[in-house]
Chains A and B, each alone.
Chain A
């Protein structure tokens, strides 16, 4: 079968399924992205390949997956740029102690429990081509991640963005995001470096790259923003320049051995945060990245996820352990830390629930883990399932813990502007 017609049919089926399942999920008060993630899983061997193996083989022949993967990677680069773009350091102002402690605990607690779990899972779900250190660090990171874009979307939908809880949650998730990706960059670097000298070389390269981005490229980007303000619009040339910088940054981090996505995230994070500039840039890229390309990533993840590998009581027991540790670490850790910093139990519990949302950021991380061979296919399937379950549970648990209808009476808005651009991603 020729490749282009196959690819076009694949994209059509993926897009249709994503919109349809997303719409169904919205009907049960779940974010659109949740449905899209689930649609991806349905298109893989776990459902379509199981129910209709002939149709699955015809729709996704093995030799066509390379094209699909390339498209999904481009989509992820654009998406990670947008995630970085919506991170605004202003949201941290005035919330130092609560944010820093809660954020760091919400990372370290699941990381710690993930490392303990690694002691049990390493001899059972890994092999000796992976060292325990790499396995434990990756599993810890996988337990710690929070989906900043999904969290922002849930807060908006629940009209919580301007409440005390909403502003703290956004700030904590922002710190989590940056810290989580930094830890993952280090883990990837450790796994990919063959020996100590190459590791130091890669670390040196990473340090130099970050310095150049913060001290040099950032200034240049400010000039772009000034040009935008002067003209009042984002011209096609300006847009092309931003895209070129995005591609260059992604290329550098990929060549450094980390991953292209880190470069995309970092350049987004250091972009000037003038609301008009951010909004215009987001508007121009959002539909292509979120509507068209991200569902391809979800479908590709679904194709890589074989729930058939979780095929025994033993395997389901491992999955139960994983999900228990993930929830205990993230929800428990965040709740406890928020309570210690003075929040009420209800608010602290709601914050813990929100931080437990892993969403597509977890899927991004897991695909990187599978690519670098640090997790096995069965563990990948279990962690994908864990990401879906923890994201799915957020809305109903939040409803149960927080009683959203009481929010306007109990908590006064703290005066932080709801940044529309932050909520455009899902």
Chain B
């Protein structure tokens, strides 16, 4: 009898507690998902490049990967330099600065009503007058082989 009571107190009550927590957690809201691979295009890049030599995107389109941990974002362009931005998500707006060049910043808004998800924003440098507008489409959520998506 003592054994059954011990078992119920320690196991049974814990299971009931876990079920309660799962029910309670259903009302929680996590940040919007923006992680994964995005295909982006940009315009008016040439003036930005001439004014800001630190931007080294050669083509007019590229893939960028967004690694998301809650609101924290790590954004990597698949350009020659693997330019990386660190940023945060506020609602559906991404604000990020280049890891090795904080003058360079990225601001974009995600439209999750579109199918697939779309992104509109700009890439600019506080040292340059010009900015580059960019737009993109989400290609997938799948995590890549590295932890950085």
Chain A bound to chain B:
yes
Q: Contacting A133 at CB < 8 Å: which of B11, B22, B68, B72?
A: B22
A97 vs B141: C-alpha distance when bound (angstroms): 46
State whether A119 touches B145 (Cβ < 8 A).
no
State whether A115 touches B69 (Cβ < 8 A).
no
Assess whether A104 is interfacial by the CB under 8 Å rule. Answer: yes
State whether B17 touches A112 (Cβ < 8 A).
yes
Assess whether A90 is interfacial by the CB under 8 Å rule. Answer: no
Q: How far is the CB of A386 from chain B (nearest CB, A)?
A: 15
State whether A306 touches B68 (Cβ < 8 A).
no
Of the four ranges (under 10, 10 to 19, 20 to 34, 35 or more), the interface on chain A belongs to 35 or more
State whether B142 touches A132 (Cβ < 8 A).
no
Q: Contacting B143 at CB < 8 Å: which of A112, A123, A337, A371?
A: A371
Assess whether A340 is interfacial by the CB under 8 Å rule. Answer: yes
State whether A378 touches B141 (Cβ < 8 A).
no
State whether A105 touches B10 (Cβ < 8 A).
yes
Q: How many residues of chain B have a CB within 8 Å of chain A? A: 37
Residues 121-156 of chain A, each 1 if its beta carbon lies under 8 Å from chain B, else 0: 011111111101101110010000000000000000
Residues 88-129 of chain A, each 1 if its beta carbon lies under 8 Å from chain B, else 0: 000000000100010011001101100110110011111111
Q: Among the interface residues B18, B35, B146, which one has the most CB atoms of the partner chain A within 10 A?
A: B146
Q: Contacting A124 at CB < 8 Å: which of B6, B18, B67, B70?
A: B70
Q: Contacting B26 at CB < 8 Å: which of A133, A140, A305?
A: A133
- Interfacial chain B residues near A303, Cβ < 8 Å: 145-147
Q: Which of A62-70, A242-250, A276-284 contacts B (4 or more CB under 8 A)?
A: A62-70
Assess whether A370 is interfacial by the CB under 8 Å rule. Answer: yes
The SS class assigned to the A binding surface is helix
A122 vs B31: C-alpha distance when bound (angstroms): 9
- Interfacial chain A residues near B22, Cβ < 8 Å: 115, 132-133, 136-137
Q: Which residue of B lies closest to A370 (CB)?
A: B143
- Interfacial chain B residues near A124, Cβ < 8 Å: 70-71
Given A133-B26, A309-B72, A381-B147: A128 in contact with B14 (beta carbons within 8 A)? no
Q: Contacting A62 at CB < 8 Å: which of B17, B32, B142, B146?
A: B146
Assess whether A304 is interfacial by the CB under 8 Å rule. Answer: yes
Q: How far is the CB of B79 from chain A (nearest CB, A)?
A: 13
Residues 34-71 of chain B, each 1 if its beta carbon lies under 8 Å from chain A, else 0: 11000000000000000000000000000000011111
